[in-house]
Amino acid sequence: MQRNSTSLLGATQLLVVCIILSLYGSAHAAETIKISGTGTGIGTMKLLIAAFEKRNPGVAMKLMPNVGSGGAIKAVAEGALDIGLNGRPLNAEELKLGLLVTDYARTPFVFAVNRTVKTKNITSAELVRIYTGEMPAWPEGGQVRVVLRPASDADTLLARTISPVMNAAVDAALAREGMLMAPTNQECHDMLEHMPGSIGFSSLTQILTEKHPLKALRYNGVEPSVSNIANGRYPLVKSLSLVTTPDLSPATRRFIEFVRSAEGRRILERTGNLPAPGASGK
């Protein structure tokens, strides 16, 4: 009886060891792809990752916290990230890193406001007056509260390109004391949601995917829609790209191909993005 019990114990231990080894082997067989970057693309990327993992069970995608475009580019160059989500052109120093930049979408860059703001349209002249402080109240009443982003942030840099006078207005806003500052896209949305009368930078894709109760203003009477950036009517556009090293792993290459595939394209389109030219329609 003791011998049978001992044999059973030994068989059980062997089974446990086999299961552990099997799980260990499966965990290490799965390739992990680390990805992060601009908060603009985080919401859409969650949907793309979920769809990709269903088709590729041997690949684990790890979406890291938002580190911004600059942080992602640096992390990719140093090997800390496999894919960086980027929302701006690489600067001169970054171009020297020899990274591969794959455009995947464009989305309307918008000025978003708190739901208490009744205004539905903003003109370029009004924006300048808001950022210089010359327009302290909304037409319907209520204080204008500008939520700024850091000077080096992709959204701040993009706002500067609107016009020379807007560039100067951004400088003026950054120099004013007591201004609200949001380090990341997600923190900006949180401030805009909870601060009555607030206005700040955002994008159509972030508003749609994160489902914050914010309003994207028309710009000079034009609706910020995917169709209006496709036909050229809406001029404020944020380009999104994936940054990698040139020596892609097979799994990383498959994910990038998926983003630009027909299924990836459908996900991008329904989340406020215009897929980049060259994306597969098959």
Read off the pLDDT of residues 161-175 as tens digits, 9 standing for 90 and up: 999 999 999 999 999
Q: What tokens were used for 20?
A: 């552990």
As its CATH architecture, domain 108-230 has: 3-Layer(aba) Sandwich (3.40)
Q: Would you state the pLDDT for residue 27?
A: 40
Residue 16 confidence (pLDDT): 39
Per DSSP, what are the bridge partners of residue 145?
198
Please check the confidence at residue 156 and state whether its pLDDT lies above 90.
yes
Residue 212 pLDDT class (50, 70, 90 cuts): confident
pLDDT tens for each residue of 11-70 = 444 443 343 334 434 444 468 999 999 999 999 999 999 999 999 998 999 998 888 999
Residue 68 one-letter amino acid: G
pLDDT at 277: 87
Residue 279's pLDDT is 52
Return d(Cα 109, Cα 155) in angstroms, integer.
8
- Per-residue pLDDT at 21: 35
Q: What is the pLDDT of residue 148?
A: 98
What's the pLDDT tens digit per position in 119-148?
999 999 999 999 999 999 999 999 999 999
pLDDT of residue 66: 87
According to the model, what pLDDT value does residue 18 have?
41
Rounded CA-CA distance 242/104 in Å is: 7
Report the pLDDT value the prediction gives residue 30, as an integer from 0 to 100. Answer: 63
More confident residue, 13 or 185: 185
Contact partners, residue 271, CB within 8 Å, separation at least 6? 43, 44, 47, 205, 208, 209
d(CA 173, CA 78): 34
Residue 8 has pLDDT above 90, yes or no: no
23-106+239-275, CATH topology level: D-Maltodextrin-Binding Protein; domain 2 (3.40.190)
Average pLDDT over residues 103-109: 98
Predicted confidence at residue 200, as pLDDT, reads 98
The answer to whether residue 197 scores a pLDDT higher than 80 is yes
Calpha distance 171→40 (Å, rounded): 23
Amino acid identity of residue 268, one-letter, is L
- Please give the mean pLDDT across all residues of the chain: 89
* CA 140 from centre of chain: 33
pLDDT greater than 60 at residue 215: yes
Which is it for the CA torsion 264, 268, 269, 273, positive or negative?
negative
Element (H, E) at 14: helix 2-29
- Any residues with CB less than 8 A from the CB of 276 and at least 6 apart, and which? 103, 104, 105, 106, 260
Q: Sign (positive/negative) of CA torsion 245, 253, 157, 136?
A: negative
The partner residues of 168 in beta bridges, in order of sequence, read none
Percent pLDDT > 90 in the chain is: 84
**What Rg do the C-alpha atoms of the chain give, in angstroms?**
24
**CB distance 229 to 274 below 8 Å:** yes
Q: Where are the domains of the chain?
A: 23-106+239-275, 108-230
Q: Which two tokens stand for residue 12?
A: 């059980």
pTM: 0.85
**CA distances to 2, 153, 162, 206, 254 from 211, in Å:** 64, 23, 27, 8, 29
